[in-house]
Amino acid sequence: MSTIQNQHCPILLASSSKYRAKLLAQLGLDFVQAAPNIDESAIDKEMPHDMVSRLSEQKALVLSEQHPMHIIISSDQIAVTQRNEILGKPLTHERAVEQLMQVSGQKLTFLTGLCVLSPLPNSADGWHKQLAVVPYYVHFRPLSLAQINDYITREQPLDCAGAFKVEGLGISLFEKLEGDDPNSLIGLPLIALCSMLANIGRPILGG
């Protein structure tokens, strides 16, 4: 792999998410954003781990033709209940209430897929691909309907999988958090991303 070429490639975040953009900006990188616009539906009998890995890869690949000289960073996230049910973005207050009632007093697993595509000349498809799925575990307090409604009204977490924002009042919903990278809970596993960027000659720190 040509690390020299990757040192000069611009970076594209394959997401319109303001949360992922804020996380990536923490690394001091210059980047642009583009929405991948793919079908994010699950495939029949697809396991959650396989789903986030596939969607992360597809988000990067769908933008690769329009951005052949970029390092493309993409991510996908789902929340999985103890009954192996997938929770997406609630989008409405009523659905957010349903989701938080469902996980009250329960453990919720967040799976965050990460893909980094970097230009690789003279390869079969022209790209070097790195993939990872990072888990994070959230233990919810037993929540009353009044607490849930108060939280949703104040925080409006309608565009967040699982109906909460960990960086805000969401922290009051939890008994315990478990995992290697709390950034993955927000939508972009920065620890894994730093390693992937270092692998292609773009370490965050020099020297």
* Residues with catalytic function: 76
* Contact status, residue 61 vs residue 2, Cβ threshold 8 Å: no
Alpha-helical (H) ranges within the chain are: 3-6, 18-25, 48-64, 93-103, 145-155, 183-186, 190-199
The answer for residues whose C-beta is within 8 angstroms of residue 147's C-beta and 6 or more apart is none
In angstroms, the Cα distances linking 82 to 86, 87, 88, 106, 145 are 10, 11, 15, 7, 20
Q: Which of 164, 134, 138 is nearest to 150 (CA)?
A: 164
Give 32's strand partners.
12
Q: Which of 43, 68, 45 is nearest to 54 (CA)?
A: 43
SS3 state of residue 179: strand
